[in-house]
Amino acid sequence: MNTVLLTAGAATGGSLISMLVIYAVIIGLMWFFLIRPQKKQQKQIEDMQNNIKVGDSVLLNSGMYGKVMDIIGDTLIVEFGLNKSVRIPVLKSTVARAAEPNLTVGKKAELVDENGVEYEYVEVEVEVDENGNEIGEVKKSK
């Protein structure tokens, strides 16, 4: 009777250890694929925020671009817009990235013919009465 109890106890202890090993592996994989990359990205963002200098253009988390005029501890004095008198103190942690705004405006043509000429395709519908006379036309851009 003792041998039956010992083997049943050994099997239970072995399955408990294997279950703990499986849980440890799952937790390790979650840390490796989820937490570690997030911490690495956070460290890169903090390094970028700490390397901002006076004169750099920055993009804030609110979507506003500005130019750094002064740095006081963890606070940046940022100048917004073309009016040079709008200066607002913001925390370094609100800087999303150091970037210049793209102020160029361009229209991309939808089609290009065999000569390389760009054009926009416009479909024209003409209304015709029962005699075949044109009444008007409706333009539809595609």
The CATH number of residue 58's host domain is 2.30.30
Does 103 map to a domain? no
Q: For residues 5 and 101, what is the distance between their CA atoms, to the nearest angstrom? A: 75
Which candidate, 121, 124, 125, places its Cα nearest to that of 142?
121
Domain co-membership, 59 together with 87:
yes
Does 124 map to a domain? yes
pLDDT digit string, tens, across residues 19-44 = 999 999 999 999 888 888 899 999 99
- Cβ atoms of 110 and 142 within 8 Å: the answer is yes
Does 26 map to a domain? yes
Domain co-membership, 14 together with 44:
yes
Domain co-membership, 93 together with 127:
no
Does 19 map to a domain? yes
Does 105 map to a domain? no
Count how many domains the chain has.
3
Domain co-membership, 70 together with 91:
yes
Does 102 map to a domain? no
Q: Largest alpha-carbon pair distance within the chain?
A: 110
User: What does DSSP say about strands 134-141 and 122-128: parallel, antiparallel, or unpaired?
Assistant: antiparallel
Query: Where in the sequence is the domain holding 33, given as residue range(s)?
Result: 1-51
Does 128 map to a domain? yes
Domain co-membership, 24 together with 41:
yes
Domain co-membership, 40 together with 23:
yes
Does 104 map to a domain? no
pLDDT digit string, tens, across residues 69-106 = 999 999 999 998 877 778 999 999 999 988 888 776 65
Residue 69 burial (10 A CB sphere; 0-12, 13-18, 19+) = middle
In order, the DSSP letters of 26-90 are HHHHHIIIIIHHHHHHHHHHHHHHHT--TT-EEEETTS-EEEEEEEETTEEEEE-SS-TT-EEEE
pLDDT digit string, tens, across residues 43-64 = 999 999 889 999 999 999 998 9
Domain co-membership, 4 together with 45:
yes
